[in-house]
Structure 1
Amino acid sequence: MQQITTTNPATDQDIATYDVMTKDTAFEKIMVAHQAFLQWKAKTHEERGAYLRDIAAALRDASDALAQLMTEETGKLLRDGKTEVELCAQIFEYTATHGPTVLADENRTHNGGKKKGIVAHCPIGVIYSVQPWNFPIYQPVRVLAANLMAGNAVILKHAEICTGSALKLKDLCEVAGLPEGLFDVIIIDHDTSDEVIAHDLVRGVTMTGSDGAGRHIGQVATKNLKKSVLELGSNDAYVVLADADIALAVETCVKGRLYNNGQTCVSAKRFVVADAVYDDFVDAFVAQMKNVKMGDPKEDDTQLGPLSSKEQFDTVHQQVKDSIAHGAVALCGGDPGSETGQFYPATVLSNCTPGMPAYDDEIFGPVASVIRAEDDEDAMRIANDSRYGLGGGIFTKDEAKAIDLARNHFDTGMVRINSFGAADPNMPFGGVKDSGFGREHGGFGMKEFTNAKAIFLP
């Protein structure tokens, strides 16, 4: 029987081994989920919300254990894991509070306004959720909360390296009283995953991950006429304009590049700086990156933990080496040691140009790409010179200008002004171009996998 083993990236010690499920076992779980859905869809939004609040309470009760497990499986800083659990609890509570209004029937008219109509947002069935390892609880929760409120069931295929976190989340939902089968975890290979997408009882597919994986899953879903939501990678540009507060920009950009050990889809990754302030920004930015404390992710004073796996470490280091081979200059970092664990130092690359990974691709680790722009207009041009379009940031003292650039010029799904952050339950989350399509959070995610049913009254 095929097995997978999870490993602690800080110590390189194995954690646990799990059996990979057969297709028949996975399909049985889909059948059970569908039966649970048939009962769940009959409940009101308010009744579903009560379960979501109970799950939020169960998450908070298990916060320490969950954070510890996430740190062991992925190298996430322990304090960030606790923050992640609290965010997940808030997502369940937000969904429970706002779901009944977001999903309420809408009164419309038809026949030129002479007759009444209703738009009902109806659940559709079993949703297949494919999620990555960088936020082991948050990634599945943002799908789970929205779809439970909508009336759907969810089957999760999590990243192998955080299998324990996935199973712990399932257990907590059951402890909180969620009906059996309504949320389940399948441990399967990629071929079986494709067959799950094709299963008649799977009505939608949502996936977070790389654009390469997104293309594959999106194509399989489309072939089988299944709606999909894809939240893919990015190389988000944070633009530092000529009138920016440089101290604020530097502090925020360091945080934005190192958050979650640099392994976040909406991390600040490319730093596009107007020529007038380039030297001041880079000098201060490099100085702070050099002083970052890397070490045990369980220690309170650690600022940078390990990458999530040996595979991730090798990928990041190869991207850095390829960029340097194409002319990038390492202003700090880029030369990891040989100690135990998958630790990669905070790295700043300058002279980043098209044709190198540091400019074109997503580097999923603590590596910053600095790009000099001639002026503010050129900075926005460079920011949009990407196949991705998830998020980005603008630093300027002129808020009106920043809002105009964000709304009318920045070709992304999200823009931060003079700040950095990952996600908020009340704001939509998602991107454009190769960063995918569809939205989560902000109420939008609750409707992604519903049937907007038109009911015409005579």
Structure 2
Amino acid sequence: MPIATVNPANGETLKTYEAMGEEEIERRLQLAEATFRTYRTSTFAERARLLHRAADLLEADQANIGRVMTTEMGKPVKQARAEAAKCAKAMRWYAEHAEELLADEQPAAADVQDSGASRVLVRYRPLGPVLAVMPWNFPLWQVVRFAAPALMAGNVGLLKHASNVPQTALYLEDLFHRAGFTEGTFQTLLIGAGAVDGILRDERVKAATLTGSEPAGRSVAATSGEMIKKTVLELGGSDPFVVMPSADVERAAQVAVTARVQNNGQSCIAAKRFIVHTDVHDEFTERFTAAMRALKVGDPLLESTEVGPLANEQGRADLEELVDDARRSGAAVLCGGERPEGPGWFYPPTVLSGITREMRIHREEAFGPVATLYRAGDLDEAVLIANDSPFGLSSNVWTRDEAEVDRFVRDLEAGSVFVNGMTASHPAFPFGGVKRSGYGRELSGHGIREFCNITTVWQGA
């Protein structure tokens, strides 16, 4: 894939970039290694000052970088500005909490005495240069939720961003540099996917994090495993959205629409499979389908637009294949389901019912504004349907019955369970999945410790 900005609203190529050659990659690896030797000794106060400055600059840049993101990958511009604001919030959260999260830990006195030591502590130390392989769907947020904790821990970052968001990738490098971080602290590598393996094999790169597709995750994990390097993977998701009879069905249907079409439906944590108890199935379906049908699809730079184009032509083709396969296999199309005429990679909000296990869309992630509806006879069946997926990123449950809440929290196979609300990430809470959704955690104290050397210090009498 060429490194280029291609406007998904009309297919126009706006900017193209040459991939960095071996000499430039080597220069940047040398710079990262050299910078880490000094940066690792900086204080939390020094790092926090720089990260607060980056947050200030990002807030000031909200309108401009929002338009850049929208032009590169198609999200509605209001959502793009909100993404920038969320990134600034995460930067400030880590700037304010990193020192506490990485403070030395003191084991129990009895255990210290039993070990024969006069003092034992556990210290978190940075690893070194960390490679981040990031996707296009949240081109700022995915990077910042890695970069903010990594930099506050004393690591340095190397970013390989998706090839269709090069302007956003370069903006991030410039943002950290303008904030006062030295040149090698955070670098953007304009490279294709083929160059990732060689960088992962370089001894100067100590760890990697990837958010993206399952095949990309397998590749990075395989190479990192061979090189014995730590990885964190956040891969696909096909999150269930379960509605039980005690739920506020009207509210659940309203939230379900946002949960499905946020970011034009191109979100790993978007609700995709709507599992509704038979007692409220028809009411929910009517409300949900009507609201999906009423969404305004159009130019993502217009403030009134609710759903913009998909990010690329292949993504739309992949989504169409899933819908067409389901239709051929007997699914009912309650709204949408047909590619609109005209330029751009648009696809209408679509609702499918009558889904069976034989349909591809039952097992594969639909990365776009397509929802699938299931009818469940009781809680046990709802759990079975929800867990009948290779993915386990997040989940949504709507019920006022606390006994049902306990059952869902116990039995759902997912990294998160959101009750009476839609899945959202927050810097204070761990984020990640199970099964083919990946491993490791981002955000919170768990995320900042992922790329730390957890060092036991034992001192004798």
Q: 1:340 & 1:36 partners in 2: Cα distance?
A: 46
Structure 2 Cα separation of the partners of residues 372 and 182 of structure 1? 51
User: Which amino acid in structure 2 is aligned with residue 11 of structure 1?
Assistant: N
**1:74-89 to 2 correspondence within 5 Å?**
74-89=73-88
Stretch deviating more after TM superposition (116-125 or 403-412):
403-412
Match of 1:336 in 2: 339
The partner residue of 2:282 within 252, 257, 279 is 279
1:289 aligns with 2:288: no
Separation (CA, whole Å) in 2 of partners of 1:212 and 1:422: 25
- Distance of aligned partners of 1:114 and 1:406 in 2 relative to their CA distance in 1, 3 Å threshold: farther
Q: 1:262–1:98: structure 2 CA closer, same or farther, 3 Å change rule?
A: same
Aligned partner (choices 432, 456, 460) of residue 454 of structure 1:
456
Paired residues of 1:70 and 1:136 also in contact (CA < 8 A): yes
Q: Which residue of 2 aligns with 1:228?
A: 231
| Counterpart residue number, 1:173 | 176
Moved over 3 A (4+): none
Residue 153 of structure 1 pairs with residue 156 of structure 2: yes
Which residue does 2:42 correspond to in 1? Answer: 43
CA offset digits 1:226-256 (Å, max 9, x no partner): 1100001110000111222110110010110
Structure 1 unaligned spans of 5+: none
Which amino acid counterpart does residue 441 of structure 2 have in structure 1?
R
Q: Note the C-alpha offset of 1:351.
A: 0.8
Native 8 Å contact 2:323 2:361 kept in 1: yes
Partner SS, residue 114 of structure 2: coil
Report the Cα distance in structure 2 between the residues aligned to 1:192 and 1:256, rounded to whole angstroms.
35
CA distance in 2, matches of 1:424, 1:437: 18
Give the aligned partner of residue 246 of structure 2.
243
Measured after TM superposition, the shift of residue 23 of structure 1 is 2.8
Give the CA RMSD over aligned residues. Answer: 1.3
CA contact (8 A) 2:383 2:408 kept: no
Contact 1:27 1:196 in 2 (8 A): no
Partner of 1:256: 259
SS at match of 2:236: coil
Q: Which amino acid aligns with 2:126?
A: P
The question of whether the paired residues in 2 share the 8 Å contact of 1:242 and 1:376 is answered with no
With normalisation by structure 1, the TM-score equals 0.97
Task: Give the secondary-structure state (helix, strand or coil) at the position aligned to 1:362.
Answer: coil
How many angstroms apart in 2 are the aligned matches of 1:442 and 1:299?
A: 35
Contact 2:4 2:165 in 1 (8 A): no
Counterparts of residues 51-450 of structure 1 (less than 5 Å): 51-108=50-107, 109-112=111-114, 115=117, 116-398=119-401, 400-450=402-452
Which shifted more, 113-122 or 208-217?
A: 113-122
Could you give the per-residue CA deviations for residues 260-315 of structure 1, whole angstroms, max 9, x where no partner exists? 10001000100011111111111111111111110111112211111011111111
Shift of 1:6: 1.7
SS in structure 1 at match of 2:170: helix
Number of the residue aligned with 1:16: 15
Matched residue type, 2:164:
I
The one-letter code sitting in structure 2 at the alignment partner of 1:21 is: M
Which secondary structure does the structure 2 equivalent of 1:371 belong to?
strand
Query: Comparing 111-120 with 134-143, which one deviates more in the overlay?
Result: 111-120
Which amino acid letter does the alignment assign opposite residue 165 of structure 1?
A: T
Shift of 1:113: 5.8
Match of 1:4 in 2: 3
Tell whether the 8 Å contact from 1:357 to 1:363 is kept in structure 2 after alignment.
Answer: no
User: Aligned partners of 2:113 and 2:372: how far apart in 1?
Assistant: 57
3-state SS of the aligned residue for 1:64? helix
The percentage of aligned residue pairs carrying the same residue is 37
CA contact (8 A) 1:58 1:173 kept: no
* Aligned partner of residue 106 in structure 2, secondary structure: strand
Cα deviation, residue 402, structure 1: 4.7
Question: SS at 2:456's partner residue?
Answer: strand
Q: TM-score, normalised by structure 2?
A: 0.97
1:170 partner SS: helix
Shift of residue 114 of structure 1?
Answer: 5.0
User: Do the aligned partners of residues 185 and 402 (structure 1) sit closer, same or farther apart at CA in structure 2, a change above 3 Å counting?
Assistant: farther
Cα deviation 1:35-79 (Å, max 9, x = unaligned): 111111001122211111111011011111100100000001101
Q: Equivalents in 2 of 1:421, 1:160: separation in Å?
A: 27
CA distance in 2, matches of 1:13, 1:190: 23
Q: Distance in 1 between matches of 2:426 and 2:4?
A: 33
Output one character per residue of 1:171-217: Cα deviation in whole Å (capped at 9) or x when no partner: 11111111111100112122311000110000001000111211111
Distance in 1 (alpha carbons) for counterparts of 2:72 and 2:416? 29
Query: Does the 8 Å contact 2:48/2:152 carry over to 1?
Result: yes
Letter in 2 for 1:261: N
3-state DSSP of counterpart to 1:11: coil
